[in-house]
Structure 1
Amino acid sequence: MDPKFLKVIKATTPATIVTVNAHPAHVVNTWSHYIHVVDDHTLLIPSAGMHSIENDFPTDNHLTIAVGSYQVPGTTGTGCGFHVHGTGEFQTAGAYFNEMKAEFDWIRAVLVVTVNDIEQKI
């Protein structure tokens, strides 16, 4: 995974998750430092709510995550941002859920994101 992306998600900044198959699109937020990287293609995000995007997944589970940090140098100076494109699945049991529940006792589920690509925007 891109080292800059890993720096950005360690910052304490918002992460916005968007599904576009609803009209209007559904948007939820979390903190970027809550995102766990399992490997180059798997991210874990704790979920207390996120019902709107979960309800979209039976029709289309594609999502985009936008993260950024002014603390990480970007392509043209201060600030760096990324779009993560992938698919999502909410899990309420299993190894990923247990791992995240141990750190975030308030979760009801874990959003498991399968990453298709990560695109630096700035």
Structure 2
Amino acid sequence: MITFIRHGHFSHEGVVSIVTWGNDEPHIVNTWNSYLNITVTGDGRLLIPAAGMRKTQKNVEVNNKVKITLGSKEVMGYKFMGTGFLIEGTGKFVEAGLEFNMMKGKYPFLNRVLEITVTSQKQTL
């Protein structure tokens, strides 16, 4: 998976943009690289703490496709320092269970977890 992942999470900080679309125009919400967690089972899922993201959740309930862009200027890209990625997948919001509890322990502010099953990833820089 992406080159700057260490110990199940993204080790270099940067902004993450999450794009969803239901019946309306696309909606974008932001979070941080350090809030993205990779499931330990290696099944290609990302777990993201959610405190707000209400419009994102409404969109996912209509259309579960999700696109994410993320990057860091601290990681070597194709030719120079700085790289970025486009991740596509399907999303759902989780409000209970083992992974929810694990995430709640790490991020006490969350009230839901956005779970994204990755279907493709592409380096963009």
Q: Same fold (TM over 0.5)?
A: yes
Match of 1:26 in 2: 27
SS across alignment from 1:24: coil
Match of 1:117 in 2: 120
CA distance in 2, matches of 1:23, 1:93: 29
Q: What's the CA shift for 1:77?
A: 0.8
Match of 1:76 in 2: 79
The unaligned stretches of length 5 or more in structure 1 are none
Match of 2:5 in 1: 6
Q: What's the CA shift for 1:10?
A: 1.7
For the 8 Å contact 1:9–1:68, the answer to whether it is kept is no
SS across alignment from 2:5: helix
TM-score normalised by the chain length of structure 1: 0.92
Does 2:45 align with 1:46?
A: no
Aligned residues: CA RMSD: 1.6
Bigger helix share: 1
For the 8 Å contact 2:23–2:62, the answer to whether it is kept is no
Tell which deviates more after alignment, 83-92 or 31-40.
31-40
Q: What's the CA shift for 1:67?
A: 0.4
Q: What's the CA shift for 1:97?
A: 0.6
Amino acid at match of 2:67: T
Amino acid at match of 2:120: D
Structure 1 runs (4+) greater than 4 angstroms displaced: none
For the 8 Å contact 1:5–1:82, the answer to whether it is kept is no
CA distance in 2, matches of 1:46, 1:18: 16
CA distance in 1, matches of 2:23, 2:11: 30
